[in-house]
Structure 1
Amino acid sequence: MLNRILLGLYIRTALVVADQARRLRRQPDAGMETADKILWAAAITIVVGVVGGIFRTKLRDFANGLSITLGW
């Protein structure tokens, strides 16, 4: 009885793996698009951080000037 249950489990697992392999063959780079977007987001974050670090004092003075002008 246990052997039949295990055999059914093995067959079902093999079918699921085969289905996943078929899907991957149809769209081989579906995950690469997501990875590409994540890498672009990381690159933009780094560039903005570097620019913010370079112009830190100018940005701080600009923000302080706005707060004084607006009366905050």
Structure 2
Amino acid sequence: MKKVIPLISLSLGFGDVFLQDFEKQPPEGFDIVRPDISKGKIDTISYPSKTVGVTRKALIYTPINTL
């Protein structure tokens, strides 16, 4: 019975504490505007969902043609 308790605690998620990664830092310059990266437009649409039975929202990204 004493061996069962540690196995139960690991299966309930208590063992995940030891498996987590350390906090990672973002790459240098991730938050700087870069003119060499093309941009687009984001729109919000609404549509009736047959699965959920309500009107849902979705974000649509449309790239800008730079040619």
Q: TM > 0.5 between the two?
A: no
Q: Going by fraction, where is strand more abundant, 1 or 2?
A: 2
Quick check: which has more Rg, 1 or 2?
1
TM-score calculated relative to the size of structure 2: 0.29
Q: Going by fraction, where is helix more abundant, 1 or 2?
A: 1
TM-score calculated relative to the size of structure 1: 0.28
